Amino acid sequence: MKPIRTASAVLALLLALTACGAGAKGGTDAKTGGKTVTVFAAASLTGVFTRLGQDFEAAHPGTRVVFNFGSSATLAQQIVQGAPADVFAAASPATMKTVTDASLAGTPVTFARNRLQIAFPKDNPAHVDALKDLADPKVKVALCAAQVPCGAAAAKALGAAGLKVTPVTYEQDVKATLTKVELGEVDAALVYRTDVLAAAGKVGGLDFPEAATAINDYPIAALSAAPSGAQAGRFVELVLSPRGRDVLAGAGFDVP
Amino acid sequence: MPWVLTVPAALALVFLLLPLAGLLVRAPWSTMGERLAEPRVLEALRLSLVTATLATAFCLLLGVPLAWVLARGDVPGRRLVRALVTVPLVLPPVVGGVALLLVLGRNGPVGRLLYEVSGFSLPFTTAAVVVAEAFVALPFLVISVEGALKTVDPRFEEAAATLGASRLRVFTRVTLPMVAPGVVAGAVLCWARALGEFGATITFAGNFPGRTQTMPLAVYLALETDPEAAIVLSLVLLAVSVGVLAGLRGRWAGAS
């Protein structure tokens, strides 16, 4: 009797696990009977998209907007591997291309642009007041790694300025870079203007002319296999609408 | 053998080995040679091996005495201390990294003192990698050595003491030789954990090639742009660690 009981327990567990797997994601939400729109968006869009998601839910009662914020490259990989997303908003055309090349999305539209700023701890211990100060070996600098969009932009801007900067660290994303500034462990970093604005009060920001050579385009697209169908397109429309542009501009993005 | 045990055992083995097989299947074997010859791969591998070994030495130096205190010492609140020792096990490593930064960073209470006295700041140095790895790996060593100490019959130590040996002499000549297999097993676990350390390292030590970029960090960043490179790096790390662990097993941990 005993082995049979154990075996049935194991079986019940396996069934429970498979049930979890099957019910996890889908176009309709069984609990509310409404639709779920799943948006994969670059981490730098967290604040803006969370607000627009609330707007969308208010305008479409019964619809839930679920976000997956992260590194654009990681999100693109997840979509190519079959993650059930409705909308993809990337921080660079290159990461969007990964998805369009796999014929998983329609033509993307550029909805925002972001430019770099010099960020420094609010007491500015190294007295950074120009881009060239970052090349001073006494100034500890954090940059994003070249593999992520903010790192590519930083390399471009520094190249345009003809500066050779040796940072103490190449961080894995823009938020990690900013954290090092907030904690005062580095004297300066190159991050997006929107990130400086979001951390206002904790870090200071400084525009510099060479940032214009490394503007980051943010493309958005509804995915062809969107489980929520037409709702995916409506979310994209909201982002491109005057309301969407207002929220984006308020967070420090340039709106085309 | 009862199938109630063998079937789950086989499933466990498949569960552990399938992802590794996935790495092998997707590896770009045709370009493997040239990818391995890149100096950055060797640089990261060397750094990983050196820091993991130093971290293990550091853990042995401090962890064995701590295990002895927990198993034998007559300290108040021993249970609480034991629970605290295991905290880094459940703490997400990134949180551990932030905690290290808050204490040992140049604005932390300990780090500031160090910075003001010597002008040395720990974050973003190779030493910081060793500290981060040791912080995460130390509990593994302490727990396994403590477990080994508890199985030693205290009468051997008592006999040595009645024959006139001091407590330190008893520890080095009687206790330590008896728990040697436990110490080796703990050190191996500790080393393996240190070698794979990612979160605390990238947060506390940053990421700079040749100085703080260990293999797991290189894998993570490669994944952003070049998944094939990430697979190659993962396989190298895997091969080296399996090789070292298998070698150790044969030599010290006894055939089993």
Which pairs count as long-range contacts for A52-58, CB under 8 Å and 24+ apart, including other chains? A52/A235, A52/A238, A52/A239, A52/A243, A52/A244, A52/A247, A55/A238, A55/A243, A56/A234, A56/A235, A56/A238
Tens-place pLDDT, residues B33-92: 888 888 888 899 999 999 999 999 999 999 999 999 999 878 888 889 999 998 888 999
Distance from CA of A238 to the nearest CA of B (A): 29
Per-residue model confidence (pLDDT) at position B34: 84
Q: Is the pLDDT of residue B206 over 90?
A: yes
Instruction: Flag whether residue B186 sits within 8 Å of chain A, measured between CB atoms.
Output: no
Architecture (CATH level 2) of domain B39-251: Orthogonal Bundle (1.10)
CB pairs under 8 A between A and B: 68
Residues B193-214 have a mean pLDDT of 94
Instruction: Flag whether residue B206 sits within 8 Å of chain A, measured between CB atoms.
Output: yes
CA pseudo-torsion sign B195, B57, B207, B214: negative
Q: Is the pLDDT of residue B142 over 80?
A: yes
- The closest CB to that of B227, out of A7, A77, A185, belongs to A77
Which of B102, B224, B233 is the best substitution to test chain A (most A C-beta atoms within 10 A)?
B224
Distance from CA of B213 to the nearest CA of A (A): 9
* Mean pLDDT (chain A, rounded): 86
CB within 8 Å: A172 and B220: yes
By percentage, how much of chain B surpasses pLDDT 70?
97
Distance from CA of B17 to the nearest CA of A (A): 19
CA pseudo-torsion sign B48, B50, B54, B59: positive
Distance from CA of A148 to the nearest CA of B (A): 7
Per-residue model confidence (pLDDT) at position A18: 40
- Looking at beta carbons, which residues of chain B come within 8 Å of A173? none
CB within 8 Å: B124 and A74: no
Closest by alpha carbon to A74, among A62, A61, A85, A65?
A85
Those residues whose C-beta lies under 8 Å from the C-beta of residue A254, and which sit 6 or more positions away, are: A112, A113, A114, A115, A215
Backbone angles phi, psi at A85, to 5 degrees: -105, 155
Distance from CA of B235 to the nearest CA of A (A): 20
Residues A59-84 have a mean pLDDT of 91
Pairing mode, strands A109-114 and A216-222: antiparallel
Per-residue model confidence (pLDDT) at position A204: 95
A144 touches A170 (CB < 8 A): yes
DSSP per-residue letters across A188-220: EEEEEHHHHHHTBTTEEEE--GGGGGGPEEEEE
Those residues of chain A whose CB sits closer than 8 Å to some CB in chain B are 3, 6-7, 10, 71, 73-74, 77, 140, 142, 145, 147-148, 167-172, 176, 179-180, 183-185
| Cβ neighbours, 10 Å, residue B201 | 31
Instruction: Flag whether residue B207 sits within 8 Å of chain A, measured between CB atoms.
Output: yes
A57 touches A66 (CB < 8 A): no
Q: Which residue has the tokens 């900067």?
A: A165
- What CA–CA distance (Å, rounded) separates B220 from B196? 12
- Looking at beta carbons, which residues of chain A come within 8 Å of B207? 145, 169-172
Which pairs count as long-range contacts for B169-175, CB under 8 Å and 24+ apart, including other chains? B171/B68, B175/B68, B175/B149
Tens-place pLDDT, residues A207-235: 999 999 999 899 999 999 888 888 999 99
Per-residue model confidence (pLDDT) at position A173: 85
pTM: 0.81
- Looking at beta carbons, which residues of chain A come within 8 Å of B101? 183, 185
- What CA–CA distance (Å, rounded) separates B236 from A5? 45
Tens-place pLDDT, residues A104-129: 998 999 999 999 999 999 999 999 99
Tens-place pLDDT, residues B167-193: 889 989 999 999 998 999 899 999 999
- Looking at beta carbons, which residues of chain A come within 8 Å of B124? 140, 168-169, 185
CB within 8 Å: B224 and A74: yes
- What CA–CA distance (Å, rounded) separates B206 from A164? 20
SS3 A166: coil
Tens-place pLDDT, residues A124-168: 999 999 999 999 999 999 999 988 888 999 999 999 999 999 999
Per-residue model confidence (pLDDT) at position B213: 95
Those residues whose C-beta lies under 8 Å from the C-beta of residue B133, and which sit 6 or more positions away, are: B51, B52, B55, B193, B194, B197, B200, B201
Question: Please, what are the domains in chain A?
Answer: 26-113+217-250 (3.40.190.10), 116-214 (3.40.190.10)
Distance from CA of B125 to the nearest CA of A (A): 8
